[in-house]
Structure 1
Amino acid sequence: MRPRHASRDLCRAREFEAYVAGAGGRLLHTATLLTAEAPGDNPHARRLLIRALAHTYASWDRLRGDDPYEVTRRYLAIRFAHGVRHRHRGLLRSRPLPQSPLARLSPRERLVLVLRFHEGVAEERTAALLGLPADRVRTICHRATAALLDPPREPAPAVGGAGVAPS
């Protein structure tokens, strides 16, 4: 390897390291929300993030002014959506946190909700990213929001006990 190439590769690696140091935590949190895993036990979210970061690193020299965070987030969402369609790939065999409100949502609802509210992606951009009409994204978002704000109620306990006669 020529010294000039080694120097360029070292500079590229340092830039990417700085990027990951700054954005890695937020991207991992986003991946964890998508997979609905517990924050401390999120192997599928980590695998999803590693794939997205590897993709970003591979295309680092071709970004030319593109936001690397946007590129990584887009790939993260696409890989997650692809995993939803191809469940046998393992991305959805996560261990959702039972108390997590996101665990009751479908993967598509989680994806739309996380992109719209956690990541702040506009409805039209979310629709374009997922290949859905904007009206469909709006409907999914409203349904998911309603499910989070008004969770299903547990059945009421039985009134009266056995052996109690009505008066």
Structure 2
Amino acid sequence: MSERNSAMDRRRAHEFEAFVAGAAGRLLHAATLLTAEPATANPHAQRLLTGALARTYADWDRRRDEDPYNRTRQELAVRFARSAWRYHRVRGGVLDRLSPQERLILVLRLHEGVAEEQTAAIIGLPPDRVRAICSRAVSTMRSAPRTHRPAVLRAAS
């Protein structure tokens, strides 16, 4: 019996490692956008992702036909939403001009391509509110001056 459990544990670990190898980069990028940290220094994003991946691993055998990427992304979003108060003053990331709620909705909708209704369900808001917040976030990102312009653009101006 222990050989069987050991083989199942190895298979489970191997499947999870393969999943992480394929998905961790994109998930870390999403977490970094959420926390508004620079891509080169993102300890909060790494902690968020580690927690979400730990939860996915704990539920690995119970997932049935559920996509582990979607499950991990949802866990990442929920963990961020629960701790969003920590990310009001983080500066240096691409989305640092947005509030945590705006970042969450913008990342889910535009970066991850999650449907409006599904985004609303994940964060517990009506779809109309999600649409309004997403529109406001896009407008803010389009209208706010860029302070982190690439050197090529600075030299040209």
TM-score normalised by structure 2 residue count: 0.89
Please tell me whether residue 106 in structure 1 is matched to residue 106 in structure 2.
no
Specify which structure has the higher proportion of helix: 2
Secondary structure, aligned partner of 1:125: helix
Q: Which residue of 1 aligns with 2:67?
A: 67
| Greater Cα radius of gyration, structure 1 or 2 | 1
Aligned residues: percent identity? 59
Deviation at 1:96, TM superposition (A): 2.3
How far apart are the structure 2 equivalents of 1:3 and 1:94? Answer: 51
Aligned length: 147
Give the equivalent residue in structure 2 for 1:15: 15
**Which residue of structure 2 aligns with residue 136 of structure 1?**
129
In structure 2, relative to structure 1, the CA distance for the partners of 1:147 and 1:30 (3 Å cut) is: same
The corresponding residue for 2:140 is 147
Would you identify which runs of 4 or more consecutive aligned residues in structure 1 move more than 6 Å?
none
Gapped runs of 5+ residues in structure 1? 155-167
Q: Which amino acid is 2:95 matched to? A: L
CA distance in 2 between partners of 1:61 and 1:8 (Å): 10
The residue aligned with 2:56 is 56
- Aligned equivalent of 2:155: none
Instruction: Give a deviation string over 1:73-131, Cα, whole Å, max 9, x none.
Output: 000000000002xx3xxx5277421xx44101000000000000000000011011111
> What does residue 2 of structure 2 align with?
2
Alpha-carbon deviation of 1:135? 0.5
Tell me, what secondary structure is at the counterpart of 1:17? helix
Cα distance in 2 for residues equivalent to 1:22 and 1:11: 17
Amino acid at match of 1:115: L
TM-score by length of 1: 0.83
Q: After TM superposition, give the deviation of residue 151 of structure 1 in Å.
A: 1.1
CA distance in 1, matches of 2:94, 2:29: 15
**CA offsets, 1:3-35, max 9 Å, x none?**
110000000000000000000000000000000
The 1:153/1:42 distance shift into structure 2, 3 A limit, reads closer
Contact 1:36 1:94 in 2 (8 A): no
Whole-angstrom CA distance in 1 between matches of 2:56 and 2:89? 24
Contact preservation (8 Å) 2:116, 2:131 = yes
- Is 1:123 aligned to 2:116, yes or no? yes
**Equivalent residues of 1:56, 1:72 under 8 A apart:** yes
The reply on whether 1:92 has 2:93 as its aligned counterpart is no
Task: Report the 3-state secondary structure (helix = DSSP H, G, I; strand = E; otherwise coil) of the residue aligned with 2:95.
Answer: helix
- Give how far 1:40 is off: 1.0
Counterpart for residue 27 of structure 1: 27
Counterpart position of 2:150:
none
